[in-house]
A and B are shown apart, each in its own frame.
Chain A
Amino acid sequence: MAETVASDVTLLSDAKVGSTGVVEHIDLPEDVCHYLAHLGFLPGTKVEILRSAPAGDPRVYRIDGVEVGLRRDTAQHIYLRLTPNGAAR
């Protein structure tokens, strides 16, 4: 549980549009976690930060071939291990 946040682990909300990463862990209430899990947000799943809504928030993430819109206040509780740029694909 006591995780030392490695340098390449970032918050989903902080990852740049266009980057990809793998979900590390999610720090949200159980019911929200449950819902997110069924949309694909589970540790080990690849996420791509697709675009942000015109107002900058919410942003659209592509996970498992599905596009999901999340507000910043949800995304900032999801930890992501960024995939190095070249190996994104």
Chain B
Amino acid sequence: MSCHAPVQDPVEPTAAEAKIAGKNGASGQKLKTVALIGPPNCGKSTLFNRLTGLRQKVANYPGVTVEHHSGKMKSIGRADLTLIDLPGIYSLATYSEDARVAVEVLTGRMPGVPRPDCVLLVLDATHMNRQLMLAAPVFSIGLPTLVLLNMSDQLAARGGSIDTLALAKELGHPVALISASQGKGLDVIPDFLLRAGPKFDSGLRPVQLPVLQSAASCRSWATQVTSRTKYEQPAAALWTRRLDAVLLHRYFGPIIFLLVVLGVFQVVFMSGQPLSDWMTEVLTRAGTHAALLLPDNWLRLMLRDGLWNGVQAVIVFLPQILLLFLFIGILEDSGYLARAALIADRVMRAIGLNGKAFIPLLSAYACAVPAIMATRTIENKRERIATILVAPFMTCSARLPIYTLMIAAFIPNMHFLGGAIGLRALVMLGLYALGFLAAMITAKLLNSKVMKASAAPFILELPQYRWPTPQGLALRLYDRGKLFVKKAGTIILACTFVVWVLSVLPAHLLLHQVGPDRVTFSDLASSYIGHLGHFIEPVLSPLGFNWKIGIGLLSSIIAREVIVGTLGTLYGVDPATHAQTLHAALRHDMTLGGAIALVVFFAFAMQCTSTLAVVRRETNSWKLPALQFAYMTVVAYVAALVTNQVITRLF
């Protein structure tokens, strides 16, 4: 197949190049689609974001991108070109789902994605011997290729060097040294694309590629190329070694790991809570003022009591969510995450999970949806299914609002160890631990029942430590904040609206005057929602939940945060609790047992339509999501029942 002539005649094009030139020339077809390809964690998505102005998730560990993403190359003035970002691959042979996606898109076999017209091959310049192995199979696809040696800043800082001209001659494709994170050297890309346009001519000529493209032959080819082009491998990153000596230390390593986790909770809760309280105050005042501008009729009631109370109850958690994501961002961008996976591998193995499952499971702390997508990097199918099944037990950020609400309302603000650790942070940590335990036990059960222990190995590349950039973190927070506010403004708003409507209907019964200028609704219990609530109450009262909580639970099947909005609306509409804060209203209306049972229920229950949808998409059947929903709901119910009964007896 790839039986190319050795470097020689500068005029005679290869068969592949002739075909491209011919195709482009004959039909006058223009360059339209550009694919970004490269090994994992070499900076493809960072470059993608640079070139398109979009914001794909980037982080410092292999396997962040598991899907193909397209964007117009607006940032370099080529909005006519589509750039496709692909998951990282080591070769064109694929053993995992994410690699399959990359190779299918690259070779034009992915339905719905246009075949790329040219390729930007991104390689990490700090270890070329290995990275170049991918070049041979990519060149043999026969598309015009620009080789981008990324991380030029790292290469220079650590005393490595590379002769790009010699390398270009050796490879037969143009080569440029860039730094995607600093935006250096990127001007070669538009130049290349112009030349790759109507009639491609790189000015460079074919080379000898390994005939048999096995790993070993690609490898020796790569080594020959780098030695012929006088590549100087940079020194080992000193700081990475020094940091690892501490962070992976026998005793300090696990201690630091625990301190990091505890510290995150402490900060999210301690600094987040005052910010949330402040937001509550501001938003309540804003709502009251705005309400005065409206006529005192059903409209004001609907907007303030119905919609504003509900949405506001959720929005106030924005500071905590952002703080949580700030920490996740720092951990991911610095490269600590991969070390954490190494430390946690012992635990993961004890329950029969692949160490590779650790990163998807960790990202489930943000949200189960990307976590389930991230399981694509797990080659073994059964382990992948097991990881998908347990991922929703990890405490996602959508659980944070209800946890924070109940903890702030029911747990006293006590401190131990001279104020270093708060009781509330400990309870929060306990809830996270609970979810983790449920995941572990489920995995263990699956392992002994469904799956035999598999031989899939744990192989993890440790990236170098890097400083998280303020811009990178700021963008993450901005995107996260936007997503959260958008959710509050759409799904949560819609849900609270439905709840409100049902809570004031049938209207003729409920709307009545209280004094000359007050209109209010009375007797929430006889509204439609009251009837529904009382209908389901017998099932929930053993858990210590009243009917309002029951309605909240029903509404939260759509998304977990919705319960806070629903409770905000219901307690806002109810004349008995109308004037109270949500905290006070809840304290008034629930026992401690019921409150703890509620958060325990949330720790286990699968209340998230997005997760169910993504599981169905990734497994191509409703079987798994249905099973997951049933299993998690039963676990949640039983656990909440036990919690309520025990706490009620004890206190």
Contact = CB atoms under 8 A, between A and B. Distances in A.
Whether A associates with B in a native complex is yes
Interface of A: 28-29, 31-40, 42-43, 50-51, 53-55, 57-58, 60, 62, 64-71, 73-74
A73 B457 contact: yes
A36 B95 CA distance: 12
Given A31-B379, A38-B90, A42-B215, A51 B244 contact: yes
A29 B193 CA distance: 42
Given A42-B216, A57-B346, A74 B459 contact: yes
Contacts of B46: none
Interface stretch (B249-257, B364-372, B570-578): B249-257
Which 8 A-B pairs have CB atoms at the shortest separation, nearest pair first?
Answer: A37-B215, A38-B90, A55-B346, A54-B253, A65-B127, A67-B462, A69-B460, A74-B457
Nearest to A31: B95
B343 A69 contact: no
Nearest to A43: B216
A34 B133 CA distance: 12
Interface string B315-341: 000000000000000000000001001
Given A35-B90, A38-B91, A71-B355, A54 B251 contact: yes
B234 interface: yes
A53 B342 contact: yes
B459 A36 contact: yes
B219 A37 contact: yes
Contacts of B234: 65
A61 B623 CA distance: 41
B501 to A, nearest CB: 55
Contacts of B630: none
A34 B342 contact: no
B458 A69 contact: yes
Interface in B340-362: 341-343, 345-346, 349, 355
A37 B216 contact: yes
10 contacts: A37-B215, A38-B39, A53-B342, A54-B251, A65-B127, A67-B240, A68-B462, A69-B460, A70-B459, A74-B459
A70 B345 CA distance: 10
Given A51-B248, A58-B342, A58-B345, A38 B130 contact: yes
Contacts of B379: 31, 35
Nearest to B235: A65
B256 to A, nearest CB: 10
B194 interface: no
B126 interface: yes
B99 to A, nearest CB: 10
A40 B129 contact: yes
B233 interface: yes
Chain B CB within 10 A, most for which of A53, A62, A64, A68: A53
Nearest to A48: B236
A67 to B, nearest CB: 4
Interface string B109-133: 0000000000000000011011001
Contacts of A64: 127, 129-130
B408 interface: no
Nearest to A51: B248
B461 A54 contact: no
B455 A65 contact: no
B294 interface: no
Given A39-B130, A58-B355, A62-B236, A68 B459 contact: yes
Contacts of B345: 53, 55, 57-58, 69, 71
Nearest to B96: A35
A47 B406 CA distance: 53
Given A29-B455, A68-B459, A69-B338, 9 more contacts: A28-B457, A33-B215, A35-B457, A37-B216, A39-B130, A42-B215, A58-B345, A70-B459, A71-B355
A55 to B, nearest CB: 4
Chain B CB within 10 A, most for which of A33, A43, A65, A71: A65
A67 B126 CA distance: 12
Interface string B79-97: 0000000000011010100
A55 B344 CA distance: 9
A66 B461 contact: yes
Contacts of A65: 126-127, 129-130, 233-234, 236
A54 B355 contact: no
A35 B90 CA distance: 8
Contacts of A69: 338, 341-342, 345, 355, 458-462
Contacts of A28: 457
B334 to A, nearest CB: 15
A74 to B, nearest CB: 4
B342 A60 contact: yes
B406 to A, nearest CB: 35
B156 interface: no
A55 B250 CA distance: 7
A71 B460 CA distance: 9
A60 B458 CA distance: 12
Contact of B249 (A54, A60, A62): A54
B245 interface: yes
A71 B457 contact: yes
A38 B62 CA distance: 14
Contacts of B355: 58, 69, 71
A80 B233 CA distance: 23
Nearest to A40: B130
A4 B447 CA distance: 39
A37 B130 CA distance: 9
Interface string B275-310: 000000000000000000000000000000000000
Contacts of A39: 90, 130, 459, 461
A60 B379 CA distance: 21
A62 B237 CA distance: 12
Nearest to B456: A32
A33 B346 CA distance: 23
Interface in B515-531: none
A29 B379 CA distance: 14
Contacts of A70: 457-459
A42 B461 CA distance: 16
B567 to A, nearest CB: 43
A68 B462 CA distance: 6
Contact of A54 (B93, B343, B462): B343
A60 B248 contact: yes
Nearest to B234: A65
